[in-house]
Amino acid sequence: MIFPRSFAIHVTYTCPLACAHCCFSSSPANKDRLDIEHILSTLDALDAETIKMVAFTGGEPLLLGDQLMRAIRRAKDRGLTTRVVTSAYFGRQPKHAARIVDQLTAAGLDELSISWDDFHEEFVPFDAVINTFKAARAAGMTVAINTVQAADSKWSRARLLDELGEPEDSDAILSESPLNKTGRARTELEDAQLRPERTVGPCPYVLTGPTLSARNKLLACCGVIQETPELVLDPDFHPANLEEAIQRGMDDPLLNWIYLRGPYAVLAYIGTEFGAAVPAREDVGGNCEACHILFHTPEIRALIPAALERQQDAIMGELRLLDALGLAGPTEIMSMWAEESRVHPAALEAAE
Ligand code: SF4
Ligand code: SF4
């Protein structure tokens, strides 16, 4: 069944960095920030029976200092697993990395997730990642590093493993995501070449991982294209309305369509049924880029109501059926469409 399994809070969009690929257009100049009492009330409102993990992200959440530690403590008191997503900008000196990790450990943090790649390297040296990685490992935290990749990226999971001296089966979570041209990347990386291997299929985050944005909007997913009314569950969020807003999302056939098949499938349907010009799947960087095209191309967006009119009964019927069979979880849906979701433009070109 679809229900929120995790919850993200974008505590601020201020960031000491201004990475070219930042989907939130964060920078030192961005002042969007949630009030700490509002964050704590939101944590109190989460249903800890279903929401198992809360991620504090941004922007740079560590800019909140002691307020972030209070939020982590409150989430732990509620029985939630906690994650902080950071660029490790503070870790240039081992002692600075250790000091921040000590504070996070004292607050009870479970997972430190480092976002770092070619784009971050312009601002944060790899030494800061190593120092922070080692300090967090020594403190017994789960450590993750996610690296965003374009076609010519120098950093990859394999290189990270190598330079960190970690084995292939390291218990650190090292992952790669393809560059999506959303946020600042739409202008600053307009000409970047996409990584050949990627997936464009069902979205496992919509409805399962809602987010409170630093502009106080409750979003249906991780908020990569948050200025999109269709993905906003509550434009002026109040914790007392959390359950009702989430239920609205779960009843929304468009969000369920994106969950079951992905935004590219909605685009493709509109292209086939109504003759709209939609890009080929291999020209789309990923699901969030497909969502951006769907919701921010006026002539395509205008056709969404007509597409829903024809498809909504089938979508909701399919969901009920999968739910009855115990196959409506994100992992089951993703594996059901795994083969169709793969995009290998390089391989396609070679075959032509
Ligand atoms: S990608 Fe992350 S580290 Fe870079 S500007 Fe955006 S929020 Fe900051
Ligand atoms: S694909 Fe769309 S719904 Fe899913 S996370 Fe990206 S923007 Fe959100």
Give the DSSP letter string of 30-72: ---B--HHHHHHHHHHS-TTT--EEEEEES-GGGGTHHHHHHH
- Same-domain status, 32 and 164: yes
| 126 in Cβ contact with 163 (< 8 Å) | yes
Whether residue 259 is contained in a domain is answered as yes
Of 149, 174, 195, the last residue of a domain is 195
In a domain, 207, yes or no: no
Nearest CA to ligand 2 atom 8: 221
Cβ of 87 below 6 Å from ligand 1: yes
Q: List the structure tokens of 245.
A: 């807003």
* Backbone φ/ψ region at 58: left (φ over 0), alpha (ψ -120 to 50), beta: beta
Mutation probe of ligand 2 site: the residue of 2, 221, 232, 266 with most atoms within 8 A of C-beta: 221
Domain hosting residue 79, numbered range: 6-195
- Identify the domain boundary among 173, 195, 217: 195
Q: What are the residues whose beta carbons fall under 8 Å from the beta carbon of 159, sequence distance 6 or more?
A: none
Q: What is the structure's pLDDT at 352?
A: 36
Question: Ligand 2 within 6 A of 232 CB?
Answer: no
Q: What domain count does the chain have?
A: 2
pLDDT attached to residue 44 = 98
Distance of CA 75 from the midpoint of ligand 1 (Å) = 24
The CA distances from residue 213 to 78, 112, 143, 159, in Å, are 21, 20, 24, 33
Q: Tell whether 190 and 260 lie within a shared domain.
A: no
Task: Check if the beta carbon of residue 6 is closer than 8 Å to that of residue 207.
Answer: no
Task: Kindly state whether residues 76 and 182 are assigned to the same domain.
Answer: yes
Whether 258 lines ligand 2, by a CB cut-off of 6 Å, is: yes
Tell me: do 141 and 262 sit in the same domain.
Answer: no
Distance CA 2, CA 315 (A): 13
Q: Would the CB of 183 count as within 6 Å of ligand 2?
A: no
Most distant CA pair in the chain, distance: 60
Ligand 2 pocket, 224 CB below 6 A?
A: yes
Domain boundary among 158, 177, 195: 195
CA of 153 to the centre of ligand 2 (A): 23
Q: Within the chain, which residues score under 70 in pLDDT?
A: 344-352
Distance 31 CA to ligand 2 centre (A): 24
- Give the pLDDT of residue 115: 97
Q: For residue 54, which phi and psi values (nearest 5 degrees)?
A: -120, 135
Reference 211, options 20, 18, 15, 46; nearest CA is 46
Q: Is the CB of 205 under 6 A from ligand 2?
A: yes
Q: Is the residue at 48 inside a domain? A: yes
The 3-state DSSP class for residue 208 equals coil
| Cα 114 to ligand 1 centroid, rounded to whole Å | 11
The pLDDT of residue 351 is 37
CA-nearest residue for atom 5, ligand 1, is: 18
Q: Is the CB of 115 under 6 A from ligand 1?
A: yes
Q: What is the CATH number of the domain that holds 18?
A: 3.20.20.70
Phi and psi for 145 in degrees, rounded to 5? -130, 125
Q: Is residue 208 part of a domain?
A: no
CA–CA separation, 55 and 10 (whole Å): 8
Closest ligand to C-alpha of residue 147 is: 1
- pLDDT value at position 224? 87
Q: Is 136 in the pocket of ligand 2 (CB under 6 A)?
A: no
* Shared domain check, 132 and 267: no
Residue found by looking up tokens 């069944």 in the block? 1
Q: Where are the beta strands (DSSP E) in the chain?
A: 6-12, 53-58, 81-86, 111-115, 142-149, 173-178, 198-199, 211-212, 218-219, 232-234, 342-343
Ligand minimally distant from the alpha carbon of residue 89: 1
212 is a domain residue: no
Q: Check whether residue 266 and residue 171 sit in a common domain.
A: no
DSSP string, 229-259: GGGEEESS--GGGHHHHHHHHHT-HHHHHHH
Distance CA 348, CA 130 (A): 38
